Structure 1
Amino acid sequence: MTVRVDETDRKILKALQEDAARSLDEIARAVGSSKTPVWNRIRKLREAGVIGRQTVELDAEALGFEACFFVLIRTSEHDAVWQGRFLEALRARPEVQEAHRLAGDIDYILKVRVPNARAYDAFYQALISEVKIHNVTALLSMEELKSTKMLPL
């Protein structure tokens, strides 16, 4: 289903990105509308897939996940069977917060959140035991300067 997103929809989406727990009344006030049209627009945007699942942001460090690694992966395998096994291995690992297939010298980059370097090593050992990987480089993030899922609406 294709949906046309107008300026009011963008205002609603911006309000939801800022705080999805806001009440429908608050969102309606913020966009200068009433509840029913705002609710109908939100429903339409959900049905069209513009709005996905809603979740909460957790503080990783407060929960003991103090190490964030960016893992650069080069592989000599590019067939569908290998890619399927690799994707399955990534999906099975909750430590992997993001995974991207890249153009250029590096084939994949992963964002891996773990309690410490020892936990990263356990993740790494498990991954390479399941999937053949040519080269892995792990970069430890010393400080997160910016992180957002918000789109610039």
Structure 2
Amino acid sequence: MTDLDLIDRKIVAELMQDASLPIAQIADKVGLSQTPCWKRIQKLEANGILVKRVALADPHQLGFGIVVFVEIEAPNHTSEWRETFTTAVNTLPEIMEVYRMAGHMDYLLRVAVPSMEAFDGFYKRLTDAVPIKNVTSHFSMERIHFTTAYPVDTRNR
């Protein structure tokens, strides 16, 4: 973990809320002039704290109305299986996130698809690409809360 000072934390928090803000607005919000603010942003990017700046899209507007959380139980835990699995999940564009888990499941995937037929096709491609002991799918009915912003502490400590 990187220990960020208050100004860096405020910059990160502002960019997580809206990465399209002009440098002048970010600088004003965090109490800096533009050049030092820009230099801090460049340093945060160079240090890997800010990974990329993206636009967030409404999945429904793009035709991805179904979100599925897929639990994967691996048949074994060899490095070969993990490599095959990693390659497979990186080639399936429907997969939005993949987590290796502790507990009753080995992996959790967040998948976005336009229809049940599309999910069925995804399921077949996934299970054809890599041997899986068990797959359990949970279909989201409603997204109640969503954010990509981490709760960065912007208070003076």
Same fold (TM over 0.5): yes
After superposition, what is the alpha-carbon deviation per residue over 1:64-114, rounded to whole angstroms, capped at 9, x for unaligned?
A: 101000001112221111110100010001100001011111111100000
After superposition, what is the alpha-carbon deviation per residue over 1:16-35, rounded to whole angstroms, capped at 9, x for unaligned?
A: 11100000000011111100
Shift of 1:4: 4.0
* Mapped contact 1:3–1:48 kept (Cα < 8 A): no
- Scaled by the length of structure 2, the TM-score of the pair is 0.94
Question: For residues 139 and 150 of structure 1, what CA distance do their matches in structure 2 show?
Answer: 24
Shift of 1:47: 0.7
Aligned residue identity for 1:106: M
Aligned equivalent of 2:40: 41
Question: For residues 111 and 141 of structure 2, what CA distance do their matches in structure 1 show?
Answer: 13
Shift of 1:3: 5.6
- Scaled by the length of structure 1, the TM-score of the pair is 0.96
Q: Unpaired runs of 5+ in structure 1?
A: none
Tell me the SS of whatever aligns to 1:94.
Answer: coil
Aligned equivalent of 2:73: 74
**1:75-114, aligned counterparts within 5 Å?**
75-114=74-113
Aligned equivalent of 1:11: 10
- Please tell me the root mean square deviation across aligned C-alpha atoms, in Å: 1.1
Question: For residues 90 and 27 of structure 1, what CA distance do their matches in structure 2 show?
Answer: 37
Q: Unpaired runs of 5+ in structure 2?
A: 153-157
**Identical aligned pairs, as a percentage?**
39
2:55 is aligned with 1:56? yes
- Please identify runs of 4+ aligned residues in structure 1 that moved more than 3 A: none
After superposition, what is the alpha-carbon deviation per residue over 1:95-141, rounded to whole angstroms, capped at 9, x for unaligned?
A: 00001011111111100000011100100001111110011111100
Aligned equivalent of 1:136: 135
Aligned length: 152
Aligned residue identity for 1:45: L
Aligned residue identity for 1:29: D
Tell me the SS of whatever aligns to 1:100.
Answer: strand
Question: For residues 106 and 51 of structure 1, what CA distance do their matches in structure 2 show?
Answer: 30
* Mapped contact 1:3–1:45 kept (Cα < 8 A): no
Question: For residues 139 and 47 of structure 1, what CA distance do their matches in structure 2 show?
Answer: 38
- CA 1:27/1:89 → structure 2, altered by over 3 Å: closer, same or farther? same
Aligned residue identity for 2:127: I
